[in-house]
A and B are shown apart, each in its own frame.
Chain A
């Protein structure tokens, strides 16, 4: 066990856990932030996606020891943090306008991937969206709506179709 000072949603938390504990379980079991979901534990499905220093990462496969010097952002607060609001507020709105969710379980991870995608590249076309979102599985099959929701936010996007 060791003490880690973590920045989560711009607040510092001190947690006493094993260095190999994945960020996912720190968020869910230690900090009670259950919006980040457990889907596969192997970085295969994307349900656990969070932002680490602005990049989408699979928190199930990222040990806590690796995130001491950086900033974690989760689904609960991403639209309340100034540097992500430009992307996160319209993305969450687009998710509702396009009626994306079915069961809703994978959607926090999908949204976090979409926010990172838009943050790092605001000129997106359909191909890029599909390529970048292929790490997030939705078993209910909401893909068509995810694509449309992201396209609607990526204003000025060139739709190559």
Chain B
């Protein structure tokens, strides 16, 4: 997930990052009463933008990336605390407001640790250096004579020591060290990095004290619910709010938004009901009567359209996207096999529906609280909408009650901003679940056709053809072919197949399309994962053996080979023939977000009842920071992937989404959840992505297991159209 609007960290000098920020106000203490444990009287000293040390030893570490369940806050703290030789009992985390000085805050693309691992280590080492320099000044000894241990600087010659807190004020006055003078720990010295340290956020979470976007309360606040345009680009024709205004607590009814392209992060055309509390706003919206203008998009029926495009794919305008030419001519007499995979639109459905609060403190001073993945994108868009200077727009990031890519699009925040300006009062916009399901930025439906030409258990030629609406259509409706980034992980020139060709076909946007956990890898991982299993069957070899042929000894496939080896062992793949009738294992592999994942699913199909009994996931993700949170992300990816495999489908009829809540957009519940076995494969490599790469192999491994169990091959999801689940 990358975005044109993102601010790149490389544009920010390390010097800026290391420099103590000027003036107060950078560090915003979340209103969730998570505030640091420092005593009232303790004096705060800023050692750099990410490190605050108090005279009572409390160490406050800044997290500039959004917390949506991946454990980034604890992970950031682990990295800095480790390099500082800090004592964990003093560590707390502050959530950064939207602030360019902290670097890239766009929490997407499984990039937080990848972008910040080395930088945070340097920030920790820099803070430690300044503490040592302070002690050196105090004791009039050379810095080289000093060492650090558990929140103390120790003089190795005399044994005297000073606590970090005692040195904090003097440390903040030291000059910022040059990067070259910093020494980072060796892996053997790590005390926190790599360990499964318990998140500092669990306590408020289990006590209902963690503040999410939905939980923000401001004095004199209006609660807003909106009735939004159900069809792309359809504007308000007329509306009747006479019944709505009779409802107790309803204060105002306003209109906002526009149907004009590009969809971008603009609010949809809508009628807003502002009320004294959420319930009145909900009832008010129900009582509204709105007529919407007819558009060309009213004719869209997704099932019909997907069916038509699947049948007539090659009649569409093809673009060749990549080619690998064979070194030697292909053998004659090759066999040929094709299969086409079709996946539906998907919604994010985070447990917390989008919500945002906004208040204008003055004409030119706006403050926002929201569950957003990219607070700087909020600043930019709000500045564009209001004409305010970005620096006069303060964006406070709450906890995100799940996001999965949805909360990277701050359309819901813009609604709050516009309504706060229109009313002159603080406004909280609350999305109901129906709003979330029916007005999402969806994952695109896709059609992918694979064709292989093969002989003697080897594929010699592979053609991949794909068709789905690109995410750039959000910013330019005329973009109809998948972008380069969206094609990237369909192109597998590192597989031992001599001749390869990749084509794309246009799918014009019919709705807002954006990033969903693992993005285009959902369809790429599914279609490749299923097709290679089908090819193994065609060539009459074991799927694992086929994968070994494909990966060969190529260095680029080192991670996938390691993950494959691990999952083969953990799942007992070699013993799979001993499983009872109706039960089988299926395998799939996928590389994405710089990580390599192999998944084996154990399914049972009896009397048309499908049960996923156990899932084995082996992850080669490079160096990891928090072992437990990485494991949790793999567990979560399995459940998310299972929801896609079993249940998830968004369909459009007359241009509007047919599903509305968890009754018709089902997600996996505990009674459908398999046992999950996670292996993290040790690696010395730089950190890879963690939040997303676990997802793509899950669904194909299940479909492949069903084939092994029953001989039934499914090339469409969700599976609840075929089985009782």
Q: Which residues of A contact B (CB under 8 A)?
A: 1, 17-18, 21-22, 25, 28-30, 32-42, 44-45, 47, 74-76, 92, 95-96, 99-108, 111, 130-131, 133-147
Shortest B204–chain A CB gap in Å is 8
Shortest A109–chain B CB gap in Å is 9
CA distance A1 to B247 in the complex (A): 11
B673 contact from A95, A99, A143, Cβ within 8 A:
A143
Contact A139 B400 (CB under 8 A): no
Contact A139 B670 (CB under 8 A): no
Q: Does B639 contact A (CB under 8 A)?
A: yes
Q: Does B668 contact A (CB under 8 A)?
A: yes
**What B residues does A35 contact at CB under 8 A?**
207-209
Contact A105 B352 (CB under 8 A): yes
Contact A103 B669 (CB under 8 A): no
Given A40-B662, A130-B671, A143-B670; A105-B279 close (CB under 8 Å): no
Given A29-B277, A38-B214; A104-B638 close (CB under 8 Å): no
Q: Does B543 contact A (CB under 8 A)?
A: no
A102 contact from B212, B433, B636, Cβ within 8 A:
B636
Other A-B pairs beyond A103-B68, A130-B671, 7, CB < 8 Å:
A29-B279, A34-B215, A99-B628, A103-B350, A136-B669, A140-B402, A141-B638
CA distance A34 to B210 in the complex (A): 9
Q: Does B217 contact A (CB under 8 A)?
A: yes
Contact B636 A1 (CB under 8 A): no
Among A37, A45, A107, A139: residue with most chain B CB under 10 A: A139
Shortest A24–chain B CB gap in Å is 9
Contact A131 B208 (CB under 8 A): no
Encoded as 1 (CB less than 8 Å from any A CB) or 0, chain B from 246 to 259 comes to 00110000000000
Contact A134 B669 (CB under 8 A): yes
- Stretch from B99-107, B181-189, B195-203, B708-716 at the A interface: B195-203
**What B residues does A40 contact at CB under 8 A?**
433, 661-662
Shortest A70–chain B CB gap in Å is 20
Among B208, B430, B668, B676: residue with most chain A CB under 10 A: B208
List the 5 closest A-B pairs by CB distance, nearest first.
A35-B208, A141-B639, A105-B401, A103-B69, A102-B69
Shortest B248–chain A CB gap in Å is 6
Shortest A45–chain B CB gap in Å is 5
**What B residues does A76 contact at CB under 8 A?**
207-209
Given A76-B207, A96-B198, A99-B199; A22-B279 close (CB under 8 Å): yes
Q: List 7 A-B contacts (CB under 8 A).
A: A37-B214, A96-B198, A99-B198, A103-B399, A105-B399, A134-B671, A142-B636
Shortest B396–chain A CB gap in Å is 16
**What B residues does A136 contact at CB under 8 A?**
669-670
Contact B208 A133 (CB under 8 A): no
Contact A138 B351 (CB under 8 A): yes
B206 contact from A74, A101, A133, Cβ within 8 A:
A101
Contact B207 A21 (CB under 8 A): no
**What B residues does A47 contact at CB under 8 A?**
351
CA distance A47 to B282 in the complex (A): 18
Q: Does B697 contact A (CB under 8 A)?
A: no
Contact B205 A104 (CB under 8 A): yes
**What B residues does A44 contact at CB under 8 A?**
661-663
B278 contact from A28, A92, A108, A131, Cβ within 8 A:
A28
Shortest A36–chain B CB gap in Å is 7
A74 contact from B208, B211, B352, B639, Cβ within 8 A:
B208
A131 contact from B205, B207, B212, B671, Cβ within 8 A:
B671
CA distance A142 to B249 in the complex (A): 38
Given A38-B353, A104-B401; A143-B639 close (CB under 8 Å): yes
Q: Which residues of B contact A (CB under 8 A)?
A: 67-71, 196, 198-199, 201-203, 205-212, 214-215, 217, 223, 248-249, 277-280, 282, 349-353, 399-404, 430, 432-434, 628, 632, 635-640, 661-663, 667-671, 673, 675-676
Shortest B280–chain A CB gap in Å is 8
CA distance A143 to B667 in the complex (A): 12
CA distance A35 to B203 in the complex (A): 13
**What A residues does B351 contact at CB under 8 A?**
37, 39, 45, 47, 103, 105-106, 137-140
Residue ID in chain A nearest B399 by CB atoms: A104
A141 contact from B215, B640, B675, Cβ within 8 A:
B640
Contact A18 B248 (CB under 8 A): yes
Contact A41 B282 (CB under 8 A): yes
CA distance A12 to B198 in the complex (A): 37
A101 contact from B199, B349, B353, Cβ within 8 A:
B199
Contact B279 A107 (CB under 8 A): no
Contact A92 B207 (CB under 8 A): yes
Contact B432 A41 (CB under 8 A): yes
Contact B69 A104 (CB under 8 A): yes
Contact B206 A95 (CB under 8 A): yes
Contact A96 B279 (CB under 8 A): no
Contact A29 B69 (CB under 8 A): no
Contact B202 A95 (CB under 8 A): yes
**What B residues does A29 contact at CB under 8 A?**
223, 277-279
CA distance A75 to B215 in the complex (A): 14
CA distance A17 to B278 in the complex (A): 12
Contact A146 B670 (CB under 8 A): yes
Among A30, A32, A39, A136: residue with most chain B CB under 10 A: A39
**What A residues does B196 contact at CB under 8 A?**
99
**What A residues does B277 contact at CB under 8 A?**
17, 21, 25, 29-30
CA distance A60 to B400 in the complex (A): 21
**What A residues does B676 contact at CB under 8 A?**
144
**What B residues does A139 contact at CB under 8 A?**
349-351, 402, 404, 640, 667
**What A residues does B670 contact at CB under 8 A?**
130, 133-134, 136, 138, 143, 146-147
Contact B211 A144 (CB under 8 A): no
Contact B206 A39 (CB under 8 A): no
Shortest B596–chain A CB gap in Å is 21
Shortest A9–chain B CB gap in Å is 11
Given A18-B248, A44-B663, A141-B673; A32-B217 close (CB under 8 Å): yes
**What A residues does B637 contact at CB under 8 A?**
141
**What B residues does A140 contact at CB under 8 A?**
69, 351, 402, 632, 636, 639
Shortest A126–chain B CB gap in Å is 11
**What A residues does B632 contact at CB under 8 A?**
99, 102, 140, 142, 145
Among A1, A101, A140, A146: residue with most chain B CB under 10 A: A140
Contact B70 A96 (CB under 8 A): no
Contact A92 B669 (CB under 8 A): no
Shortest B140–chain A CB gap in Å is 46
CA distance A125 to B347 in the complex (A): 34
CA distance A34 to B428 in the complex (A): 14
B203 contact from A18, A96, A108, A131, Cβ within 8 A:
A96
Contact B214 A141 (CB under 8 A): no
Residue ID in chain A nearest B671 by CB atoms: A134
**What A residues does B402 contact at CB under 8 A?**
102-103, 105, 139-140
Contact B206 A92 (CB under 8 A): yes
Residue ID in chain A nearest B641 by CB atoms: A141
Shortest A142–chain B CB gap in Å is 7
Among A45, A100, A146: residue with most chain B CB under 10 A: A45
**What A residues does B209 contact at CB under 8 A?**
35, 76
CA distance A106 to B638 in the complex (A): 18
Shortest A1–chain B CB gap in Å is 6
Residue ID in chain A nearest B670 by CB atoms: A143
**What B residues does A17 contact at CB under 8 A?**
277, 279
